[in-house]
Structure 1
Amino acid sequence: MNNRDISTSENSPLVDYALKGLDRLWLPEFGRWSHIYHLDNRSQPNESVPPSDVFYTLNVLLGMARVRRVPRNINLSETFQQNVRHLLTLPVSKYALGVALWAGAELGLALPDDVLRHIDGMLSDRNQWRSFRAQDLGMIVVGVVGQAKVDRKKWSPIATGLFAFLLDRYYSPSGLFFDAAFGPRRRYASFATQTYLLLACYAYGELMNDDRAIQIANTCSRKLIERQGPNGEWPWFFDAARGQVLDFYEVYSVHQYGMAPAFLELAERHGVFGARSAIIKGFNWVFGQNQLATPMLVPHLHLTIRSQVRKGELHTKKWRVVRALRNSMLRREAVLVDPSELELRLECRSYELGWILWSFGQRSDCPELTHNQMFMERCQKIT
Structure 2
Amino acid sequence: MKLVVPVAAKELSPNSPLVNYALRGLERCWLPRERRWSHIYHLDGRASPNESMAHSDVFYTLNVLLGMSRVAELPADIDLSEIFQRNAMSLTALPVRKYAFGMALWAAAELHLPIPEQVRFELKAILSDESQWSAFRAQDLGMLLTGVIAQARAGEREWLGFAGQLYRFLKERFRSQSGLFFDAPSGFRRRFASFATQTYLSIACYQYGEFTGDVSALVMADACVGNLIALQGPQGEWPWFFDAVSGRVLDFYEVYSVHQYGMAPALLEWAERFGRRGARDALVKGFNWVLGHNQLCRSMLVPELSLTIRSQVREHELKTRAPRILRALRNTWLEKGKALVDSADVTIRLECRSYELGWILWSFGQRADLRGLSHNAAFEQPSHLPGD
- Scaled to the shorter chain, the TM-score interval is over 0.9
Note the C-alpha offset of 1:312. 1.1
TM-score (norm 2): 0.96
**Residues of 1 paired with 2:384 and 2:190: CA distance?**
47
Query: Partner of 2:286 in structure 1?
Result: 282
**Could you list the per-position Cα deviations for residues 169-213 of structure 1 after superposition, in whole angstroms to 9, with x for gaps in the alignment?**
001010000000111110000000000001100010111011111
Alpha-carbon shift at residue 153 of structure 1 (Å): 3.9
Structure 1 residues 81-110: Cα deviation after superposition (integer angstroms, max 9, x where no partner): 010000011111110000000000000001
Aligned to 1:24: 28
User: Given the alignment, which residue of 97, 104, 109 partners 2:108?
Assistant: 104
Give the alignment partner of residue 212 of structure 2, picking from 208, 225, 232. 208
Q: 1:275: Cα distance to partner?
A: 0.2
Q: Which deviations, in whole Å up to 9, do the C-alpha atoms of 1:10-68 show, x marking residues without a partner?
A: 00000000000000000001000000000000000000000000000000000000111
Displacement after TM superposition at 1:159 (Å): 0.5
Structure 1 position 376, deviation (Å): 2.5
Amino acid at match of 2:14: E
One-letter amino acid matched to 1:38: H
Instruction: Tell me by how many angstroms 1:151 deviates.
Output: 4.0
**Aligned equivalent of 1:162, options 160, 166, 181:** 166
Q: Does 1:67 align with 2:76?
A: no
**Gap runs ≥5 in structure 2:** none
Matches within 5 A, 1:173-212: 173-212=177-216
Question: Pick from 254, 273, 277: which aligns with 2:277?
Answer: 273
| Identity value in percent | 60
Q: Which residue of 1 aligns with 2:90?
A: 86
- Gaps spanning 5+ residues in structure 1: where? none
TM-score when normalising by structure 1: 0.97
Answer yes or no: is the 8 Å Cα contact 1:13–1:379 preserved in 2.
no
State whether residues 199 and 263 of structure 1, in contact with CA within 8 Å, keep that contact through their aligned partners in structure 2: yes
1:148 CA drift (Å): 1.1
The reply on whether 1:345 has 2:349 as its aligned counterpart is: yes
Cα distance, 1:379 vs structure 2: 8.6
- Identify the match of residue 255 of structure 1 among 237, 256, 259: 259
> C-alpha root-mean-square deviation of aligned residues, in Å?
1.6
Distance 1:378 1:222, change over 3 A: farther
Local SS of the residue matching 2:326: helix
Aligned: 1:355 with 2:365: no
Question: Partner residue of 2:39?
Answer: 35
Give the distance between the partners of 1:22 and 1:377, measured in 2 at CA. Answer: 14
Secondary structure at the aligned position of 1:182 is classed as coil
- Counterpart in the other structure of 1:145: 149
- 1:373 corresponds to: 377
Q: Aligned pairs, how many?
A: 383
The residue matched to 1:88 in structure 2 has which SS?
Answer: coil
Following superposition, the deviation at residue 307 of structure 1 comes to 0.1
Q: What CA distance in whole angstroms lies between the structure 2 residues aligned with 1:342 and 1:265?
A: 30
Paired amino acid for 2:352:
C
Q: Give, as a single letter, the amino acid of the residue that structure 2 aligns with 1:253.
A: S
Deviation, structure 1 residue 381: 11
Judged with a 3 Å threshold, the aligned counterparts in structure 2 of structure 1 residues 213 and 5 are, in CA distance, closer, same or farther, namely: same
* Partner secondary structure for residue 96 of structure 2: coil
1:150 Cα deviation after fit: 3.2
Q: Quick one: distance in 2 between partners of 1:294 and 1:25?
A: 23
Q: Which residue in the other structure is 1:307 paired with?
A: 311
Q: 2:176: which partner in 1?
A: 172
1:44 is matched with which residue: 32, 42, 48? 48
CA drift of 1:70 comes to 1.6
Equivalent-residue separation in structure 2 for 1:238 and 1:322 (angstroms):
14
Deviation at 1:215, TM superposition (A): 1.2
Match of 2:347, SS? strand
Alignment of 1:50-61 (within 5 A): 50-61=54-65
Provide closer, same or farther for how the CA distance between residues 310 and 363 of structure 1 changes in structure 2, counting only shifts above 3 A. Answer: same
1:17–1:379 Cα contact (<8 Å) kept:
no
The answer to whether the Cα contact below 8 Å between 2:236 and 2:287 also exists between their aligned partners in 1 is yes
